[in-house]
Each structure stands twice: as C-alpha cells, then as structure tokens.
Chain A
Amino acid sequence: KAGVTQTPRYLIKTRGQQVTLSCSPISGHRSVSWYQQTPGQGLQFLFEYFSETQRNKGNFPGRFSGRQFSNSRSEMNVSTLELGDSALYLCASSLELDEQYFGPGTRLTVT
C-alpha cells in the first residue's frame, strides 16, 4: 500500500506571495492533518480534515487555510507569506482519528 505523498517536496517563495501544498493520503484514509515543524516551535498542529470537513484547527492566523476533496486529497494554502513561515510542512493521514502516518513533508523557504 502506498504511503502518504506530498508535493512539492521543496519550495522557495518570496515574502508576500502565496503557496499551495498538496497531500495525498494512504488509500482508504479519510482523515488528513497538517502540521508545521520548525526547530524553535517543534511540531505544531494546523488543521484536520475528515470527509471534506474541517474538524479541528490549531492556533494559526487566517493566512493558513486548507481543504479536502472527495477523494480525500488535501491542500493547504498560505497567503501573504512571511519569513517566519519557513518550515517543514507535514501532512498525516489516518483511517480513524488516530494512528497517524506522516508524509515526507514539504520544505518551504520564504526569502
């Protein structure tokens, strides 16, 4: 069974731009969560989608948004990028709302 895939793997953007990251969960998994990981803050929860509905949201500004499609694929969008948004963005999928499996991540660098 294929694992969680994320695209792109690496991305360089300029301050003020926006970015869209994509995540394809493990086949059959309906829950997709997004995390931001930085050396200083560790792994922080962004939001979780289950069957196309946002179930939970972390403490991030409204510039961070996401959505989930009917095939469970998910996208997250960050608008008006700031230097502090440079991070590893991880997507995790689960069959139910536990036992998450992480994708390889997207390394975003904002210059």
Chain B
Amino acid sequence: AQTVTQSQPEMSVQEAETVTLSCTYDTSESDYYLFWYKQPPSRQMILVIRQEAYKQQNATENRFSVNFQKAAKSFSLKISDSQLGDAAMYFCAASGGTYKYIFGTGTRLKVLA
C-alpha cells in the first residue's frame, strides 16, 4: 500500500528563520509525483511545490525548496526567510494512481514574530 508519513504534527519557526518540514513516502510505482500543499486557517488549500520523481533536480519556488532523496523516499520542504503568512497546515502528498493523491497527516507550522 502507498503511504505518506509526516512525523511532525507541529513545528514553530521564528520570523525570517529557516524551517524544514519532513515527509517520507512509500510507493511501488516507478513513476510518481510528490506535492506540498499549504492550507492556512479557514483558507484555501494551495499548491506550494510539485516534484516529478524522475527528475533528480530538486524543485524550488521562491522561498520554498525541497530536498528530494529518492532512494530514501524522503521529500522534505524547506522554507527560507519565514514570514507570518507562512503559518498554515502543510500537507505532503504523493500521486496514488489516476486522479488520486495519498496525503500525509499534515504539519501545522507556527511562525513566531
């Protein structure tokens, strides 16, 4: 069975500092995709970053980058220069067949002023 594990239920980071959110996954697929989604309180879930497993280069989007370790099945998200607006629930997800995502349980990120 495909699984996605986020072992940190909650994390805190000081404003302007860097934080890394962990995600590990297990899949038997040879070709798959990985995602980080952000869901602020009472607001819409938005895509932060997407990684194609066949690409060795780590995806980046402005202050957000991933450390994709395919052999270790690890897909962590690094947020640099954290801002108050980064406070949210972050979900890691893996493609789990056509139209399906396998979501992790989420990490709640608090940003301290």
A and B: partners?
A: no
